[in-house]
Chains A and B, each alone.
Chain A
Amino acid sequence: MATNAANWNPGKITDKYPGVPYEEKLRLFAEVKADARYEDYLYGCYECGICVSACPSARFYDYSPRVIAQTMAREDVNRMYEILVEDIWNCAQCFSCVRCPRQNSPGGLVTLIREIAVRNGIKETRDVLQGYSRVIYKVMLKGNQVSPDMLQPDFFPDWGPWVRSFQGNMNLWRQAIPVDSLRGVTDAAWKTDDQTLRELYTIWFETGNIDLIAEIDEGLYELLLDVMEEALEDWA
């Protein structure tokens, strides 16, 4: 039988999320395609697998950057939904896949799809990011992703006894750093001016970034809003 529109099913994909209406999946697909960067990240796919050979996540997960590019290029709406819900969180965002002979960036596509999963408050996305909230809290309020006080044995047991010894010495060791902007700072990576943080908060409000947080963690959103609004009121 010849391939036609009715029987065309290139990946022999079964719809893993039949409970989600096709229209909803299509809406999300269209949102990905509408991103200004989409055209820069996908030019079509040879299905050569060069990206897979370079991909760290493909070695340890049932994950393939080729599938990401291929799914988008074939406009496979059902498979894209599965990618949005599951696959994207396996990507290490290393961009080893940009060695693609077609100049695609499967990792870039993942970045876009993640953003859209967050923006739409997809349940599985909220679940995946649950343990990550403290990092979002830090980056939104301090402008740094990590700080010394995040190095706690409970969070990094696999880093061995060093973390425990560090924790006991953290305050002292932070005083013993000659760099002025670092010395003594434990709740951020360096000292940041209040005005700088107010400007950062303004960016989060003006670009709608703060609203994204509401989609994934309402409690965190309220907390951030309180602190930021107060800081900006003082400025005003």
Chain B
Amino acid sequence: MSVSTLLSFDELLTKKAGVVQRDPAQAPTHDLRETLFELEAKGELIVQRVPEPYFEVKTKYGRTKKIPLEHTWHHKSCGQCGHIPGYTGSIFWLHRQFGLDHVDPTDQTSCTGWNYYASGASNAVAQLAVMARNFAAAYETGYYPLIHCGTSYGHYKEAREELIHHRQMRDQVRRVLDKLGKPLVVPEEIVHYSEWVHAMRDRIAARQVVAMDHLTACVHPACHYYKIVAEDAIYDDAVFGGQRTATVTATLGALGITAADYSTWFDCCGFGFRHVLVQRDFTRSFAVQRKIDVMKNEIDPDLVVTHDTGCVTTLDKSQFSGKAHNFNVGVPVLSDAQVAALAMGAHPFRVVQLHWHSTDWRPLMAKLGIDWQARWAEFEADLDDIRSGKKAGLTWAEADQPVVS
């Protein structure tokens, strides 16, 4: 075979991008929701229905998934709230901008899955019971769970499968819930906040005030979003030929950002659960050498966008040590919600809380034409007021207003 008979690089990419045929009738997995409704009919559990209005999307095998647009109970993420509060803040800010009914509960624990994956210091029934307690708490309010964390989302999808398939586990969980005086409730769909952002992307784009069509981003898809119970992630034939989850990439597309492909797209970020806390040599090596350095060398993006707690933390915080080893690093890492909020004019510090990110975000602000020095001066004035006791803290009254219009 001569070299001329080989496919060119572009032809190869085109070939790889062939649209995937999705036919729910041919799906290799059973639709769990059918079993859920059967269990409900037998009186084993309650299925919480997705409230209207909802948005319909297609998942991996062509099944339809309902994404609630409002009346949502926000199952927060401990890593986001604890270490990247502008991530949580941006999700709430977007809901407030659109006037969508939602609750921010204090009757919520994390899924505790991070610890379970890290240490094994728990057990399956305890994990199911934590999930079931949170779902029952949401059900009692009448609001539908919207899950902020990628790991909670993946963990709950897996836990839901276990609940459905293992009668003994169901009975054990029910006994624990009886002690708590709570019913066994399973939502009809397990929904990740980035799916909500995906569903809202055209409405967000319609209110975009900061142009982003001169930006190039690399998307890092969260492993626990699309690898655990893979069939439940959103796919769209218009995104990467339908071969990769469309979540995040489609949102960036709606905002005008070019989401560029890179060769380690499928790799994890290196978070590792236990590793990121106590064995970070692995985490920072992987994050820098397999993700950031590759993105920089192949694409040199303006930003990296992802949709999970651990991914933002790992990819952002690991870059410092990469610099010391002369790797090609230095690109800000944001969540899709933060990017969407910035696009709609959110305050970069009051809402997006960029000061919690360690990789330099200033060049990105400059490229977006956001006067970050002026915004930082405003935020510093807030801090002065808090320091002097003039105000107890920042509130939505000061943060709601878009600062770019």
The reply to whether A145 and B79 contact each other, CB–CB distance below 8 Å, is yes
Confirm or deny: A148 has a beta carbon within 8 angstroms of a beta carbon on chain B. yes
Q: Do the beta carbons of B137 and A196 come within 8 Å of each other?
A: yes
Q: In the complex, given contacts A175-B392, A192-B107, what are 7 additional A-B residue pairs having Cβ atoms less than 8 angstroms apart?
A: A56-B268, A98-B230, A131-B278, A172-B387, A192-B109, A203-B130, A203-B176
Interface residues of chain A: helix, strand, loop or mixed (majority): helix
Q: Does A18 contact B (CB under 8 A)?
A: no
**A96-B223 in contact given A117-B120, A204-B126 (Cβ < 8 Å):** yes
A contact residues around B78 at 8 Å (CB): 144-147, 188-190
The reply to whether the CB of B272 lies closer than 8 angstroms to some CB of chain A is yes
Residue A156 at the B interface, CB < 8 A? yes
A89 — which chain B residues lie within 8 A by C-beta? 274
Determine the chain B residues whose CB is within 8 A of the CB of A196 once the complex forms.
106-109, 137
User: Contact flags (1/0) for A205-219 with B, using CB distance below 8 Å?
Assistant: 011110011001000
* Cβ-defined contact, A178 with B351, below 8 A: yes
B104 contacts the other chain (CB 8 A): yes
CB-contacts of B233-279 with A (<8 A): 266-268, 270-275, 277-278
Whether the Cβ atoms of A148 and B383 lie closer than 8 Å is no
B81, B137, B180, B394: the one within 8 Å of A176 (CB): B394
Residues in B lying within 8 Å of A, measured CB to CB: 76-83, 85, 88-89, 92-93, 104-110, 112, 114-126, 129-130, 133, 137, 154, 161-162, 165-166, 168-169, 172, 175-176, 179-180, 223-224, 227-228, 230, 266-268, 270-275, 277-278, 280, 282, 284-286, 290, 317-318, 320-321, 350-351, 353, 355-356, 358, 379, 382-383, 386-387, 392-396, 398-399
Nearest CB of A to B387, in Å: 6
Q: Contacts A56-B290, A57-B282: A156 and B317 contacting too (C-beta < 8 A)?
A: yes
CA distance A35 to B162 in the complex (A): 12
Contacts of A96 in B (CB 8 A): 223, 227, 266-268
Query: Which residues in A have their C-beta under 8 angstroms from that of B394?
Result: 175-178, 183
- Interface stretch of the complex, out of A4-12, A75-83, A135-143: A135-143
A118 contacts B by Cβ under 8 Å: yes
Asked if B118 contacts A56 (CB within 8 A), the reply is no
Residue of B with least CB distance to A151: B83
- A184-B393 contact in complex given A92-B271, A111-B120, A176-B382, C-beta closer than 8 Å: yes
CB distance A209 to B320 under 8 Å? no
Complex-state Cα separation, A175 to B286, whole angstroms: 34
Looking at the complex, which of A19-27, A42-50, A65-73, A157-165 is the stretch in contact with chain B?
A157-165
* A95-B386 contact, Cβ under 8 Å, with A179-B85, A181-B106, A203-B126: no
A159 to B169, CA, bound (A): 41
Bound complex: CA A93 to CA B37 (Å): 31
> Which of A197, A202, A206 has the most C-beta atoms of chain B within 10 angstroms of its own C-beta?
A206
Say yes or no: B110 contacts A139, CB within 8 Å.
yes
Q: Given the complex, which residues of A lie within 8 Å of B274, measured CB to CB? A: 89, 132
A132, B88: Cβ atoms under 8 Å? Answer: no
